[in-house]
Structure 1
Amino acid sequence: MITLTFPDGAARQYAAGITGREIAEGIAKSLAKRTVAMALDGTVTDLADPIAKDAKIEFLTRDDPRALELIRHDAAHVLAEAVQALFPGTQVTIGPVIENGFYYDFARNEPFTPDDFAAIEAKMREIIAKDRPFTKEVWTREKAKQVFADKGENYKLQLIDAIPEGQKLNIYAQGEWFDLCRGPHMTSTGKIGNAFKLMKVAGAYWRGDSNNPMLTRIYGTAWASQEDLDAYLLQLEEAEKRDHRRLGREMDLFHFQEEGPGVVFWHPKGWTLFQELISYMRRRLKGDYQEVNAPQILDKALWETSGHWGWYRENMFVTQTEDDRVFAIKPMNCPGHVQIFKHGLKSYRDLPLRMAEFGAVSRYEPSGALHGLMRVRAFTQDDAHVFCTEEQLADECLKINDLILSTYADFGFDNIVVKLSTRPDKRVGTDEMWDHAEEVMNRVLKQIADQSGGRIKTSINPGEGAFYGPKFEYVLRDAIGRDWQCGTTQVDFNLPERFGAFYVDHDGQKKTPVMVHRAICGSMERFAGILIEHFAGHFPLWIAPVQVVVATITADGDAYANEVVKAADKAGLRVNADLRNEKITYKVREHSLAKVPVLLVVGKKEAAERTVSIRRLGSPDQTSMSLEEALRTLAAEAVTPDLKRVAAAVSEPEGHATLDGHHVVARTVG
């Protein structure tokens, strides 16, 4: 007999080998009818699977969030059946679930196009309507190879050969159509529903190798309800409008070109935005971190010692000099920071020692993976490494957490998930090291959740840690509901030991420090891209590359416009003038397209009255205000959030607040 424990805590005994379906039917026919799968000790599996040992059991309905992956997996199988029914001779290869949907790769002499989608979708709906059950059989390797060979499925034969000996070969059937698959699946095709859509086609090399044949990949999306599908399609439509590559062109921020694949050509406005981000981050670190700079190119031997040569070589740019020395452009800053730590004797009194670097790093990314600012080959990390004792580790992780969350809040991100990624299969270090690191990180994760009062969500990512230690991943949600993983906190007991880094403890003994790798924005280029899309180019005034444009109505206002520009510049605003002989409606339209937050319109009347007409981006309204009042208002609005906090804490004469000589509230403009 086996004991199964239900979500309400009740435990019941059953004969070993009973299936989930039999249990559900024994409880209630209605339960069995609405159940699509089960979870045993948290692992989702087929409802028809026999249960061999004690476990916690849950029945999953179609509306369970965990069933969404099953809906998409089943939809991929139905897509493959529909394609082979409509286009005989097509070979199926693989069809995994991906974020927000699924794809399937097909081998066919004539590639598919979006024009084929209507017929394929109609066939898919026909298969779903038949509501055929998904059934599973375990075949021997010999039988599987023979059957797929007879069907002419040569790619399936290669997949079978790649499955390790001793591993089961599951065959899932939906009516007469079947496929090699690990599963699990729902109970029948009808459970998929009709909230799906085929999205696009793309070329894909078999197994991602350019030496292999090119296949046609059909992407699709599937959701639990039509409402969810409609919301997703609306999000995609909004995302297209916000695409940072399009906005980058319209706002004249940056460009890419073939001679420099994966590297950014920053234009003046874009570089201003980038440097504002760097300046903000520098201020946030001041007083806690020491900024350093490690070399761009280092000898292969250093990367071998760090372990990156073995773990990361394919992503590194490498060169060999005439004296046969091999060097690599740094893909990360950590080995260099360890060298700086090692230079000079360190005591326990020096810890924690926090080093920060806005380090330019280079990583080889496949051409097909490059995507604007979001995926590049050369980028800047807001990187830092904290060297501390084991006793200081938890406090340092919490301090980093507070800095990360407050930074995101300044940029308008308040929906955050913190994920703890634990030990991967391929890793360095002892199990004892990992046990200790994960115990500390779990404790800190609980404190993060408790201190936020539930505002910050937390979760576990099993097996997703770095090869040298567990890590926190900070995932923020943007204005249209997309999630972006940006910040990380990674505990490393390994790298300092590999390099022989140590400090002298209070007892005079040498000890290896704990190293914490920390990034907040991550890639500054990528974070800039996220901000462009989050704000749709409508930046808050403090971070806008150009904050104000002074535009004339007629040439009579040119002299006064130049006065306004000088006064705005003196007030600390990033300002341009537009004195062109163009209609004001044309100027307004052009600067609106460039997402300039504020237009100050001046003409003969404004010059006489020493006023300005203020037009805000996205608003049809126009407000007249004295020049002094307008610039005072705008300059105060343009103060960065971190300096506003300082101003609130510092008592200064009205209109002023200073920190280390920096004005943080507008000067009086006269």
Structure 2
Amino acid sequence: MQNEVIAYKKGQNLVDTQSINPQEIPNSKEILFDNSDDSLEVIRHSCAHLMAQAIKEIYKDAQFFVGPVIEDGFYYDFRIQEKISDADLKAIEKKMQELAKKNMKIEKINSTKAEVAARFADDDLKQEVLLRIPDGEVSIYKQGDFEDLCRGPHLPDTRYLRFFKLTRVAGAYLGGDENREMLTRIYGTAFADKESLKAYMTMIEEAKKRDHRKLGTELKLFTFDEEVGAGLPIWLPNGSRLRSKIEQRLFKAHRVRGYQPVRGPEILKADAWKTSGHYDNYGENMYFTEIDGSEYGLKPMNCVGHIKVFQNDVRSYRDLPLKFFEYGVVHRHEMSGVMHGLFRVREFTQDDAHVFCTPEQIKDSVIEMLGFVDDIMKSFGFEYEIEISTKPEKAIGDDAFWEAATQGLKDALDEHNIAYGIDEGGGAFYGPKIDVKILDALKRKWQCSTIQVDYNLPDRFDLSYIDANNEHKRPVMLHRAILGSFERFIGILIEHTAGELPFFVAPTQAVIIPISENHVAYAKEISKKMLEIDIDTEILSKNESLNKRIRNAEKMRVPMILVIGDEEIANNSVALRDRRDRKQYNLTIEELISTMKEKLSEVHF
């Protein structure tokens, strides 16, 4: 089956063999049965239907909502009287294997919306799906005695479906609305060959060990509390030290690059959000309240505050580019079902910046920003890829703005021979953007840094600067974040390093272990000297064996372990264990201070 044609691509659209006319084939690209992105989309879409068919055979009362392909797999939402757990997945997989071996042809049935509504008249979930489909032709895919509403694409038959795995059971609100009923959701994945599936499952097992929620608890970095509310992280002392170290380094990095620190309020009148377009285009993601008879909105972004800083003074072309940055706390209304540790929260802090410049300065500003991104990502050990995201369906501003802004980004990258992909329709509602997607140790992609070109907000807020001819001109606004948010980036960093955080941001950089009570005073002296050079330490002086305390330090994933006894006190030294380099040696206090300073200076951004 390898390299058999399973579908075609016409422009940006995948079309299955059931949908394409023979005369159209010469103008289309063949999609072969392999592990390419296009092929996997077809394979996984069909595997979702195979899973639904198996569920229907085991649980006769099952009713199905939607079953889309997602990154790395697929899921299906359905209603069922029984309670399904992860323990039931093997039985469903077994039934899927049985069905796949029947080599059932996957048929496409085209119909009208009215006919399909009548066909599924007794199924309220299908009626819900139909409400989300535009009027016109509607398709149903059928295999054996199972059929479901679907736009495709699908494989020609089920014989291709051999290498799949169901990964977990979850709950999901109907249509993502937390006021609607909770459906059952099963996630799974599929590949074209056994080796790829095995490699993926190995990666999943490793990811479980690296889960930032698990490590965040073990390392006492952060916590969540139901009494406080979902999606609102509480930073513990260890996590706060970690955040603070990143913030301090990043603050200095901004200053040396000419950025000015500013701060906008966290709550603004709704009128400001109406002017910016957030009220109409992003309002469902915001929190609103009323104060003194006026409507206010908690900020989901920092751009309006920075616009007000720009407007606070008369600006000359000599001032540009003008760079403002802020560690801005923002709030976004996330559904309870999508929140996930630090990756998806309702309150987070962006390392946000806005650069106001002339159109001619866009290229240089973008390249300078990408250099900043490169310095930081390399310091943390991340590789990355770049994409340009273009005009989304929901956008403000006319096409001329969008074309000029998008072309400006392309020109900047092209002139510096920087490779990039295109994410059609992935831009912000006010402008196109460059997205930087970092690759972690498991080769998973995470979108963090973003650079957005915006002609719209300067126009909406009537921003201007005085040019060389003493005339008012409209600036361009560049939105920029490098980490994205401190919360999400720290979650990614924890998983990337498996908790072995880089020395320069480790919450505790050294654990000091006095062999006996007689050595505690000396340990405190060392701890004080370390703090003077910005090295955080912890003294393990409990009445436990030396080996146990060393094991506890290992579990804390602390880079350095300093053991002190009579000999170390006599020699004004320490016995150092470097966990990262797997070395042990003795250093005088002066040599220890020098070593620590050297390690802190290894990273430059």
Q: TM-score, normalised by structure 1?
A: 0.86
CA offsets per residue over residues 49-97 of structure 1, 9 Å max, x none?
1156697422221115110111110100111111112222322221111
Hey, what's the Cα distance between the residues in 1 that align with 2:547 and 2:501? Answer: 22
Query: In the alignment, which residue of structure 2 is the partner of 1:90?
Result: 62
1:545 alignment partner, SS class: coil
Of 170, 175, 189, which aligns to 1:207?
175
Match of 2:88 among 103, 106, 116: 116
Q: Which residue of 2 aligns with 1:320?
A: 290
In 1: Cα distance, 2:553 partner to 2:517 partner: 19
Q: 1:498 to 1:196 in 2, by over 3 A?
A: same
Going from structure 1 to structure 2, the CA distance change for 1:64 and 1:228 (only over 3 Å counts) comes to closer
Counterpart code for 2:232: V
Is the deviation greater in 362-371 or in 428-437?
362-371
Looking at structure 2, the residues matched to 365 and 154 of structure 1 have their Cα atoms a distance apart, in angstroms, of 26
Q: C-alpha deviations, 1:161-191, integer Å up to 9, x for none?
A: 442222x111212233222110111221111
Deviates more, 1:48-57 or 1:35-44: 48-57
Matched with 1:552 is 514
In structure 2, the partner of 1:14 is none
* 1:23-57 deviations in Å (ceiling 9; x for gaps): xxxxxxx99x8211112234321124115669742
Q: How many pairs align? A: 601
Identify which of 8, 13, 22 aligns with 1:43. Answer: 13
* Residues 157/489 of structure 1: CA separation in 2 closer, same or farther (3 Å cut): same
**503-512 vs 463-472, which moves further:** 503-512
**C-alpha distance in structure 1 between counterparts of 2:458 and 2:531, whole Å:** 48
From 75, 100, 118, the counterpart of 2:47: 75
1:392 is matched with which residue: 347, 351, 361?
361
Q: Which residue of 2 aligns with 1:651?
A: none
How far, CA to CA, are the matches of 1:277 and 1:198 in structure 2? 38
Do the aligned partners of residues 163 and 361 (structure 1) sit closer, same or farther apart at CA in structure 2, a change above 3 Å counting?
Answer: closer
**Gap regions ≥5 residues in structure 1:** 1-29, 452-456, 644-670
The residue aligned with 1:536 is 498
Pair 1:361 & 2:330 matched: yes
Q: Following the alignment from structure 2 to structure 1, what is the Cα–Cα distance between the partners of residues 342 and 133?
A: 38
SS in 2 for 1:460: strand
Match of 2:224 among 256, 260, 269: 256
Distance 1:618-1:386 versus aligned 2 partners, 3 A rule: closer
Offset of residue 595 of structure 1: 1.6
Residue 425 of structure 2 corresponds to residue 463 of structure 1: yes
What does residue 575 of structure 1 align with?
537
- For 1:432-581, list aligned pairs within 5 A: 432-447=400-415, 450-451=417-418, 457-581=419-543
Structure 1 residues 160 and 256: CA distance shift in structure 2, 3 A = closer
Alpha-carbon shift at residue 620 of structure 1 (Å): 6.9
RMSD (Å), alpha carbons? 2.1
1:470-513 residue CA offsets vs partner (Å, 9 max, x unmatched): 00111001112221100000111010111111111222221111
Hey, what does 1:171 align to over in structure 2? 140
Cα distance in 1, alignment partners of residues 42 and 336 from structure 2: 31
- Equivalent residue of 1:183, what SS? coil
The corresponding residue for 2:248 is 279
Against the structure 1 CA distance between its residues 346 and 569, is the aligned structure 2 distance closer, same or farther, given a 3 Å change threshold? closer
Task: Return the letter of the residue paired with 1:290.
Answer: Q
1:60 aligns with 2:31: yes
CA distance in 2, matches of 1:572, 1:298: 38
Q: Give the 3 Å change call, closer, same or farther, for CA 42–616 of structure 1 in structure 2.
A: same
Counterparts of 1:90 and 1:569, CA distance in 2:
61
Query: Residue in 2 aligned with 1:377?
Result: 346
Cα distance in structure 1, aligned partners of 2:385 and 2:85: 38
Secondary structure at 1:549 match in 2: strand
Offset, 1:159? 2.3
User: Does the 8 A contact of 1:289 with 1:355 survive in 2?
Assistant: yes
Instruction: Tell me the amino acid that sits aligned with residue 371 of structure 1.
Output: H
What SS does structure 2 have at the residue aligned with 1:542?
helix
1:558, distance to aligned residue in structure 2 (A):
2.7
Q: Secondary structure at the match of 2:505?
A: coil
Judge conservation of contact 1:538–1:617 (CA < 8 Å) in 2: no
Match of 1:309 among 279, 285, 297: 279
Specify the code of the residue in structure 1 equivalent to 2:145.
E
> For each residue in 1:281-310, what CA deviation from the matched residue of structure 2 results, as whole angstroms up to 9, or x when unmatched?
112111411111112221111111111111
Once the two structures are TM-superposed, the CA of residue 441 in structure 1 deviates from its matched residue by 1.6
Q: What is the rounded CA distance, in whole Å, between the counterparts of 2:25 and 2:159 in structure 1?
A: 31
* Structure 2: unaligned runs, 5 residues or longer: none
Instruction: Using the TM superposition, give the Cα deviation of residue 580 of structure 1 relative to its aligned residue in structure 2, in angstroms.
Output: 2.8
Give the drift of 1:341: 0.7
Query: Do the aligned partners of 1:342 and 1:501 also contact (CA within 8 Å) in 2?
Result: yes
Q: CA deviation at 1:463?
A: 0.7
TM-score under structure 2 normalisation?
A: 0.95
